[in-house]
Amino acid sequence: MQYPVNEIFQTIQGEGHFTGVAAIFLRLQGCPVGCSWCDTKHTWEVDPANQVAPQQVINVAQDQPHWAYWSTTALVDLLTGPQYQAKHIVITGGEPCLYDLTPLTQLFAERDVQCQIETSGCYPVLCDARTWVTVSPKLGMKGGLDIAAQALERANEIKHPVAKQSHIEQLDQLLAQTNNTPAVALQPISQQKRATQLCIDTCIERNWRLSVQLHKYLSID
């Protein structure tokens, strides 16, 4: 299996259930969802003109639309090798669930490495059963995609971006569509003060978790 990789870097997970955990981020290229507030728009297009050599996507200094194909075994060998210390892999994008992540996550699990997928929920999640799936549902985006029922059923965690009360109501409607009972984290969009207070109040009321994008407050990747 070959995956189009935009970048690989090691840092601290700043969002959701694993906030504060040392993590290696594996960012895949390609996303048709079209979120207006997206901070990785450079990952949207898999343009053949931007294909580079595999080593050129490791520890990239700034956002680039370039990408490189990496095989399953090459990725696992690299990320479990001496170059990296973290034992938590975050597969993100772009939209990682454009691709079948089963062989990749299975191999990581066999090497006792925890995998987490961060997805919009617009595509079925294909991965190993031991993988933690974070669905950050993107509703009403430019791409016009619906949330996949399978993604909601597979989610271990719903990390919902919030700017106003209607976003809470949209989440309630989504949760009503599934028999799954994932953990829920509310994430204020762009650290807006009003959105943050709305998330705090709702998390207290419902015993949910607040996700504050710790990495942005700390000014780290």
CA 69 → CA 28, 42, 190, distances in Å?
Answer: 10, 17, 32
Residue 166 labeled ligand binder: no
Using CA atoms of 157, 32, 63, 209 in order, give the dihedral in degrees to the nearest 10.
-20
Tokens of 106: 């299975």
| Amino acid letter, 113 | V
Residue 13 labeled ligand binder: yes
Residue 161: closest CA among 108, 210, 128: 210
Residue 212: closest CA among 188, 192, 194: 188
Task: Give the DSSP letter of residue 153.
Answer: H
Residue 27 labeled ligand binder: yes
Residue 37 labeled ligand binder: yes
Residue 190 labeled ligand binder: no
Residue 140 labeled ligand binder: no
Query: What interhelical angle do 193-206 and 165-175 show, nearest 10?
Result: 40
Residue 206 labeled ligand binder: no
Residue 39 labeled ligand binder: yes
Residue 201 labeled ligand binder: no
Residue 204 labeled ligand binder: no
Spatial distance between the Cα atoms of 181 and 173, rounded to a whole number of angstroms:
14
Residue 14 labeled ligand binder: yes
Binding site as annotated, residues for [4Fe-4S] cluster: 31, 35, 38
Binding site as annotated, residues for substrate: 12-14, 27, 92
Binding site as annotated, residues for Mg(2+): 40
Binding site as annotated, residues: 12-14, 27, 31, 35, 37-40, 92, 94, 136-138
Binding site as annotated, residues for S-adenosyl-L-methionine: 37-39, 94, 136-138
